[in-house]
Chains A and B, each alone.
Chain A
Amino acid sequence: MRNITKTFPGVVANDRVTLEVRAGEIHALLGENGAGKTTLMHILYGLYQPDAGEILLQGQPVRIRSPRDAISLGFGLVPQQFLLVHRHTVAENIALGLPGTRFLFPARQVERRVREVAERHGLEIDPRAFIWQLSAGEQQRVEILKALMRGARVLILDEPTGILTPRERESLFRVLRRMAGAGHAIIFITHKLDEVMAIADGITVLRKGRVVATLAKGEADQRSLARLMVGREIAGERPKRQQPPGEAVLTVSNLWARNDRQHPALRGISFSVHQREILGVAGVAGNGQRELIEVLTGLRQPLSGHVEVCGREMTGASPREFFEAGVAHIPEERRRRGIVPGMSVAENLVLRRYREPPFAKGPLLDLHAVTEFAEDAVAAYGIDTTGPRAAAQVLSGGNLQRLILARELSGSPRLLIASHPTHGLDIAATDYIHELLLQQRDQGAALLLISEDLEEILRLADRIMVLYAGEVKDILPVADAEPERIGMMMAGLGRE
């Protein structure tokens, strides 16, 4: 790709970007959120047309007008969100849209080829398994197979490791190396430095739509890459705490709960969180975190066990009762649960408190008070918006999170449950949110921090609880928490 430029109204997403990837190379495309990585790959995959610049494939200029063109040219995209039909088998999913399949029973014919290709690349998978039976890592393998079976010679992986366990990640890396060894070119989009160091042969760093560096493997180290990516060095230090923890705010004992499929998701969990303390919950997604949060915020009824907030029995209380008891919640799914996209910034800011004064006067709303509160919150939390009346759906992820924090912190919560609070945010927004969380802790709140980003937990938490298969593997002070050990426990090894 040479001198690719793409502008959206108000933003230059790609500014004269040149990217060169060789056959047999794993090339990391590194950059923060919003650096233009995804736009660039969408251009390569035919989803956008560039405003200027050209794409050369083996020295020949090509025009890619649609994903169909891209596929026929040998590009394959493994998206972040998998596009698989859950009730179909692996083979059926691969047969879907694959050229040259029979009209009747296409999956049978494909099955054999799936096995061949899978074996050649070390992608263990049962073609007859149903997608819903597979873990995220296995589903990703299906996506990779899908691309390979369509003849992909250039494979684009968009943030492929976000949903993987450390072990799945290793196995993905092995597959990628093998594929590169077989002459495939691999473009690996990421913002994780350790992954770049672990796997990339070449690295292109994007910042604000521009290429800031193109390096070979030997020329880079984590520190210099971080500097290139963000334009400054990340403070790796753990912020010092001022006061020791106080009394228990949240006490959970022997908690059991089911997940949506009615399987037990929490199996007798007990722990407590204290004033001026952040308890980090580490674990691979799907080990009970979601159910735990939902039980602790009233969104899910537990099977048995007890939840106490400040000594008050809250087991099975409603979301409203939990909030009124001082439990604030930063939900994992910002757009789906955290806000009402069609409503204004101001209306979203009072989502939790619209029924109490000064926002409500009897059955009526005091719009004046709502607007005033919103103006203050927008200013205090630096929410980048045209005003309180702007629709919340146009806010970027970072600004949405600021909005949600402004709302959840406005009642001075005693317990703050933060679920993946910085997921998908850029470094500046992440730093800001970390600062707010620490500030809450120092002001006396108890925090339960659920995150898949181990680095984040190690940086913020005072104690770390590892969840595995719905059970507490261990709770340990952060001083004793070596990443390796935590990682082992997340994968189900180590002590109970």
Chain B
Amino acid sequence: MRPLFPFRIEVRPQPSTSMVIGVSLLAILAAFLVSGLILQAYGMSSVRDYGVVLQETLGSPQGIAEVVRKTIPLLLAGVGLALAFRAQFWNIGAEGQLLAGAVAAAGVALFAPIPAPWLLPCMFVAGFVAGSLWGSLPTLLKVKVGVNEVITSLMMNYMALYSVQWLIYGPWKGKSMRGFAYTDPFPQAAWLPLIPGTRVHWPTLIVGLTLALGITFLLSRTRLGYEVRVLGLNPEAARYAGIDGARVTLLVMLISGGAAGLAGVGEVAGIHHKLLGPTQISLGYGYTAIIVAWLARGNPLAIILTSLLVGFIFASGDVAKVALRIPVQIVEVLNGLILVFLIGSERLLSYRVRWAPASPPSLPRPSTSRPLPPGEGEGGDGGDGTSDLQHTPDVERL
């Protein structure tokens, strides 16, 4: 109930689902408006340009396929992150885990003597394990010695990035690639099948959708999922209930890192068919997946929608680059704006602003010795729909 002349800010009791969705959509719209201004400053007509981009992106099967292609890694990494966030483990390292998965898949594809039909499954397993292990390092540091996981998991992204560079410039540098810093191409048996005429590697998509459903089931129907939720919502109660927080966190991160690792497998086996520069393997999917998981508010099913949304933004950036010849960085600006607006809109969900017209405050008014009529005391009345409980923070703020 802070006054903010002439408005008053109040705590809003639990917002409804439609409210959440509505406000989120408004925030995205606001982000588009602001980036429209940036486009204007670039000397382009934003309304027409948005139309062109929309038409090119969603108006053709190829366009839609590109959206789906960009969605796949975001879906996988996003589902993993959503699970980690539900356990209150702030995994910022999906990018590194994704690269670790890509490296492992490339290693299997290039060097493992595995018969053809088993090669792809083995690559997926290797990618999952590599992502898990990469993710388990910051987790062990956290649960054993209490190191902040945000820092360590973030730093490990750079370790992964430079490791990949070292591999492609050094020991794994391809002979057939002349001067380029690539590995040799994977054998045909290590190529993921595509939906004809597109670059959608559908097996990875199916893995991603299955994982989203699986994690939903895990959270709602299993003992581990119950433990994850208790741990995430009230670690103190988890300890009281005898839940081994370290074990649960480690399991969660094995799955979370593994999911990002699978995304890496999909990129190298489905698109590039070789290990190449880290920024070419991943266009920051591991970082963008944080946005995806945030947007979905940790709900693995909602990740399917939010990864499609962000996939669309990525794809439309490519379109904008080609059709409008604007720098691709604009897309990143748009991404950033959307996130900023969404995080900002969170405040709107938990508070509301009310019109509370000013009246001279409180001091006894010398001119009026008559008592106030009862109705006049109700002008700026707050507190409807709010209980004592929700007001406690206000009291504590005094």
Q: How far is the CB of B326 from chain A (nearest CB, A)?
A: 44
Q: List, in ascending order, chain A residues with CB within 8 A of B377's CB.
A: 49-54, 63
Residues B362 and A63 in contact, CB atoms below 8 Å apart: yes
CB nearest neighbor in A for B394: A47
Residues B395 and A339 in contact, CB atoms below 8 Å apart: no
Partner of B398, one of A58, A83, A336: A83
Q: What is the size, in residues, of chain B's interface with A at 8 Å between Cβ atoms?
A: 44
Asked if A174 is an interface residue, CB under 8 A from chain B, the answer is no
Q: List, in ascending order, chain B residues with CB within 8 A of A341's CB.
A: 233-234
Asked if A213 is an interface residue, CB under 8 A from chain B, the answer is no
Asked if B224 is an interface residue, CB under 8 A from chain A, the answer is yes
Asked if B350 is an interface residue, CB under 8 A from chain A, the answer is no
Residue ranges of B at the interface with A (Cβ–Cβ < 8 Å): 1, 3, 221-226, 229-230, 233-234, 236-237, 239-242, 359, 361-364, 368-369, 371-372, 374, 377-378, 380-388, 391, 394-396, 398
Q: What is the size, in residues, of chain A's interface with B at 8 Å between Cβ atoms?
A: 63
Residues A339 and B363 in contact, CB atoms below 8 Å apart: no
Residues B386 and A79 in contact, CB atoms below 8 Å apart: no
Asked if A214 is an interface residue, CB under 8 A from chain B, the answer is no
6 contacts between A and B (CB under 8 A): A49-B377, A63-B377, A318-B242, A321-B242, A339-B234, A363-B222
Considering only residues 31-78 of chain A, those with a C-beta below 8 Å from chain B are 38-39, 42, 46-54, 56-58, 60-67, 69-70, 72-73, 77
A49 in contact with B381 given A57-B364, A60-B369, A340-B234 (CB within 8 Å): yes
Residues A66 and B233 in contact, CB atoms below 8 Å apart: no
Q: List, in ascending order, chain A residues with CB within 8 A of B229's CB.
A: 340, 342-343, 347
Binds B, one of A225-233, A349-357, A435-443, A447-455: A349-357
Q: How far is the CB of B16 from chain A (nearest CB, A)?
A: 14
Residues A337 and B240 in contact, CB atoms below 8 Å apart: yes
Asked if A367 is an interface residue, CB under 8 A from chain B, the answer is yes
Considering only residues 321-358 of chain A, those with a C-beta below 8 Å from chain B are 321, 323, 329, 331, 333, 336-343, 347, 351-352, 354-355
Number of A-B residue pairs having CB atoms within 8 Å of each other in the complex: 142
Partner of A51, one of B224, B361, B369, B378: B378
CA distance A51 to B369 in the complex (A): 21
Asked if A8 is an interface residue, CB under 8 A from chain B, the answer is yes
Partner of B241, one of A6, A351, A363: A351
CA distance A318 to B394 in the complex (A): 38
Q: List, in ascending order, chain A residues with CB within 8 A of B364's CB.
A: 57-58, 60-62
Residue ranges of A at the interface with B (Cβ–Cβ < 8 Å): 6, 8-9, 38-39, 42, 46-54, 56-58, 60-67, 69-70, 72-73, 77, 79, 81, 83, 297-299, 318-321, 323, 329, 331, 333, 336-343, 347, 351-352, 354-355, 360, 363-365, 367
Residues B233 and A65 in contact, CB atoms below 8 Å apart: no
Q: List, in ascending order, chain B residues with CB within 8 A of A360's CB.
A: 223
CB nearest neighbor in B for A3: B374
Q: How far is the CB of B349 from chain A (nearest CB, A)?
A: 16
CB nearest neighbor in A for B13: A9
Q: List, in ascending order, chain A residues with CB within 8 A of B388's CB.
A: 8, 38-39
Residues A363 and B363 in contact, CB atoms below 8 Å apart: no
Partner of A53, one of B368, B374, B383, B386: B374
Residues B223 and A9 in contact, CB atoms below 8 Å apart: no
CB nearest neighbor in B for A4: B377
Q: How far is the CB of B218 from chain A (nearest CB, A)?
A: 9
Residues B361 and A364 in contact, CB atoms below 8 Å apart: no
CA distance A347 to B384 in the complex (A): 30
Instruction: Knowing that A57-B364, A339-B237 touch, tell me 19 more A-B residue pairs with CB under 8 angstroms.
Output: A8-B387, A9-B387, A38-B388, A48-B383, A52-B378, A54-B377, A64-B362, A297-B240, A298-B242, A319-B239, A319-B241, A323-B242, A337-B239, A340-B233, A343-B230, A343-B233, A351-B230, A364-B221, A364-B223
Q: List, in ascending order, chain A residues with CB within 8 A of B381's CB.
A: 49, 51
Q: List, in ascending order, chain B residues with CB within 8 A of A342's CB.
A: 229, 233-234
Q: List, in ascending order, chain B residues with CB within 8 A of A329's CB.
A: 240
Q: List, in ascending order, chain B residues with CB within 8 A of A66's CB.
A: 1, 3, 361
Residues A73 and B383 in contact, CB atoms below 8 Å apart: no
Q: How far is the CB of B151 from chain A (nearest CB, A)?
A: 24
Residues B395 and A65 in contact, CB atoms below 8 Å apart: no
CB nearest neighbor in A for B370: A61
Question: 9 smallest A-B Cβ distances: which pairs?
Answer: A320-B242, A60-B364, A69-B362, A342-B233, A319-B242, A340-B234, A351-B241, A337-B236, A340-B233
A8 in contact with B362 given A320-B242, A337-B240 (CB within 8 Å): no
Q: How far is the CB of B240 from chain A (nearest CB, A)?
A: 5
Residues A355 and B223 in contact, CB atoms below 8 Å apart: yes
Q: List, in ascending order, chain B residues with CB within 8 A of A56's CB.
A: 371
Q: How far is the CB of B206 from chain A (nearest CB, A)?
A: 24
CB nearest neighbor in A for B379: A49
